[in-house]
Structure 1
Amino acid sequence: MMASTPACNPVNRFSSHARCLIMDYFNCLDAFVRVAEVGNFSEVARQLRVSKSVVTSRIKQLEAHVEVPLFHRSTRNVSLSQVGQLYYDECAQLVSRANEIVDGMRSARQAPTGLLRVHGLPGLVVSHMARFLTTFSEKYPGISFDFVVNDEVIDPVKAGYDCALQIFAPISDDLIQRKLFPVHRTFCASPAYLGIHEPIAHPIDLTRHALGLYSRYPSRDKWVFENGEKQCQVELSPAFKSNSVHFLKEIALEGLGVVCLPTIACAEDINEGRLVPVLTDYWLSSYWLSAVYPKTQRNSVRLKLFLDELTLAFPHQPGWDEILASKVSFPPPNAFLGD
């Protein structure tokens, strides 16, 4: 008798059917968790790269299975029902654990693969990320990236990112913050500008200069300077204000004024003499550059590898701060904002 082919084997047919049912159920759970977190069917469809009707269908299947509505729906809003909220807490952990198991199994059999969507601060991404990715991609060639670069403080869950690299604290308790390295700041100007303008020996002297300031710091125009002995608060009115530290650096390089820049963006220019730091006996409070990501991504193998390698590449005293250690005063460890 001829041996039956796998396609004709009832056991294989049953196993295949069971796998399809399991995957279908998991897809429904995943869609439910995403809609609960994002609050928008269309955005979840965009994240999953399926049509809105597919997401709607998955939610309806799940509601039919549990025999209770999971969401309150209106033309403008989608929110969890009371039962849906209880169900979400369990499902979020289940989806996270399932993704962790799948990633672990794939990593055990082969190199990790897949896409990481990262929202990144321009100072880091524009100046240093390409160099880091050269080494990372050699080590993990199967991981690809979609980088969106701007300084907005976002909710990576609602925006559909695996993580956000930012200097401000998470905007939701549902997010995890992993501190990577400090972001120090210094005032600086071009040698040409300093050569024809009055000296800057005290923070109050800045008020008599054309200033370029970053517009997104929460301190607004009130700046606090310290030198270990006393504190000085000065209100500064900038001639140039921008959300781009790279644009501010160009202003300084062109000799248009004195600017405040994070050392991550200006260390090389200071080290090579294109910019000169001022008020080097004073320091400003610093920020942490943090990776902020959803709790459901906590165990993602790809994300863990990315953040572990970032930590190794950019330690708590990054290379750009090391080369400025003799030229700029840095604050003590407790002078950080957002701790």
Structure 2
Amino acid sequence: MDRLENIEIFVRVAQTQSFAEAARQLRLARSVVTSRVKQLEEHVGAPLFHRSTRVVRLSEVGQAFLSDCTDLVGRANDIMDQMRGARAGPAGILRIHALTGFVLGHFAALLHEFQVNYPDIRLELIVSDAVVDPVKVGVDCALQIFPAASTELVSRPLFPVRRVFCATPAYLRKAGVPKSPRDLHKHALGLYSGYPTRDRWTFHHGPEHVTLYMNAALLTNSVHLLREYALEHAGIVCLPTLVAGDAILRGDLQVVLPDHLLSSFSLSAVYAGTSRNDFKLRLFIEHIAGAFSKVPQWDADMIAKGILPPDVITD
């Protein structure tokens, strides 16, 4: 077992390219991580890493064995989880990184249901809009709307995330309702800063599309701040419907340019193909996926009321 633990530590150091970060993720002292890697190197009879004060990189021997070691660690953890599951149910820690916009208002009930079904799995949740590599930050899965940061990661789409421009009825009565996308230039705009298209916005109207570059009166990485900004009658904002849906259905916010569609993103579960918590992670992802159809409930409610068209645009 010690040798397998040494291999797992070797894999984590290689993935994070840091002894200190591997120690943090594994909750071990750095001296223990260093000692375990040294033991493995003595057993192999060759250095696994080239070390300097700033860089940790694999040696030729380390590169040759990393893939097999990663598979071994993943398979060993999967077998142990399944053995525990067969006896008394899966147990242990599952670390998740999730988007703020998804977590607030939609996630707590799902987490509670999952814990009722699997009471011995402890969840550790990091909430942030940052795009992360799950391996490097030490989580089992990232729930995000952007592509995986590496080709070594698996990305499983869960549901589409639509975006709309919206404002309060009071603001629109005062400032006027845009009739075309170019009319947005006449308004105070609140925009999310993290989209990969940055200041470039493409609107789809039937077979036609128009691309505009727009400047924001408020540019932020918080979609919830944008919603509050709009509710203060401050301007027109672009929000994902998973954040704006409730306010739109109540009439607090009104969709503008409903026939000019923006492209949608997919909320995806991004994880390493050889996750060390593969069994628990599969249970978690299946639980989340099972809670949503291809049309999330907040979109379905707006489509049923004619607020949104049923069409979804994907890039």
**Same fold at TM > 0.5:** yes
Which amino acid letter does the alignment assign opposite residue 2 of structure 2? Answer: D
Aligned 8 A contact 1:285 1:331 in 2: no
Which structure 2 residues correspond to residues 1-339 of structure 1 after superposition, within 5 A?
23-297=1-275, 300-325=278-303, 326-329=306-309, 331-332=311-312, 335-337=313-315
Tell me the distance in 1 between the aligned counterparts of 2:265 and 2:297: 17
User: Offset of 1:306 from its aligned partner?
Assistant: 0.6
Per-residue CA deviations over 1:151-199 (Å, capped at 9, x if unaligned) read 1111111110111111111111121111111110000001111111122
Tell me the distance in 2 between the aligned counterparts of 1:137 and 1:299: 16
Tell me the distance in 1 between the aligned counterparts of 2:16 and 2:177: 52
Percent identity between matched residues is 50
Question: SS where residue 223 of structure 1 aligns?
Answer: strand
Aligned 8 A contact 2:167 2:237 in 1: yes
User: Offset of 1:298 from its aligned partner?
Assistant: 7.3
Per-residue CA deviations over 1:185-214 (Å, capped at 9, x if unaligned) read 000001111111122111011110111000
Which amino acid letter does the alignment assign opposite residue 282 of structure 1? Answer: H
Q: Which runs of 4+ in 1 moved over 2 A?
A: 329-332
Tell me the distance in 2 between the aligned counterparts of 1:291 and 1:42: 27
Tell me the distance in 2 between the aligned counterparts of 1:331 and 1:77: 49
Which amino acid letter does the alignment assign opposite residue 213 of structure 1? Answer: L
User: Offset of 1:299 from its aligned partner?
Assistant: 6.4
User: Offset of 1:320 from its aligned partner?
Assistant: 0.9
Which amino acid letter does the alignment assign opposite residue 147 of structure 1? Answer: L
Larger mean Cα displacement after TM superposition, 292-301 or 230-239: 292-301
Tell me the distance in 2 between the aligned counterparts of 1:298 and 1:114: 11
Per-residue CA deviations over 1:258-286 (Å, capped at 9, x if unaligned) read 00000010111101111000101110011
Tell me the distance in 2 between the aligned counterparts of 1:199 and 1:159: 44
CA 1:304–1:33 in structure 2 vs 1: closer, same or farther (change >3 Å)? same
Per-residue CA deviations over 1:295-337 (Å, capped at 9, x if unaligned) read 22176111111100000112221111101112123544xx324
Task: Tell me the TM-score normalized by structure 1.
Answer: 0.90
Which amino acid letter does the alignment assign opposite residue 318 of structure 1? Answer: P
Question: SS where residue 297 of structure 1 aligns?
Answer: coil
Per-residue CA deviations over 1:71-106 (Å, capped at 9, x if unaligned) read 111111111111111111111111111011001100
Which amino acid letter does the alignment assign opposite residue 193 of structure 2? Answer: S
Task: Tell me the TM-score normalized by structure 2.
Answer: 0.97
Tell me the distance in 2 between the aligned counterparts of 1:330 and 1:201: 21
Question: SS where residue 176 of structure 1 aligns?
Answer: strand
Aligned 8 A contact 1:211 1:258 in 2: yes
User: Offset of 1:148 from its aligned partner?
Assistant: 1.0
Aligned residues: 313
Question: SS where residue 76 of structure 1 aligns?
Answer: coil
Tell me the distance in 1 between the aligned counterparts of 2:98 and 2:158: 13
Larger mean Cα displacement after TM superposition, 317-326 or 245-254: 317-326
Aligned 8 A contact 2:178 2:257 in 1: yes
Tell me the distance in 2 between the aligned counterparts of 1:85 and 1:331: 47
Larger mean Cα displacement after TM superposition, 64-73 or 298-307: 298-307
Tell me the distance in 2 between the aligned counterparts of 1:298 and 1:272: 44
Tell me the distance in 2 between the aligned counterparts of 1:317 and 1:193: 30
Tell me the distance in 2 between the aligned counterparts of 1:96 and 1:319: 35
Aligned 8 A contact 1:286 1:331 in 2: no
Aligned 8 A contact 1:97 1:299 in 2: no
Which amino acid letter does the alignment assign opposite residue 321 of structure 1? Answer: D
Which amino acid letter does the alignment assign opposite residue 265 of structure 2? Answer: Y
Tell me the distance in 2 between the aligned counterparts of 1:101 and 1:59: 24
Which residue of structure 2 aligns with residue 7 of structure 1?
A: none
Question: SS where residue 26 of structure 1 aligns?
Answer: helix
Question: SS where residue 178 of structure 1 aligns?
Answer: strand
| Unaligned residue ranges in structure 2 (runs of 5+) | none
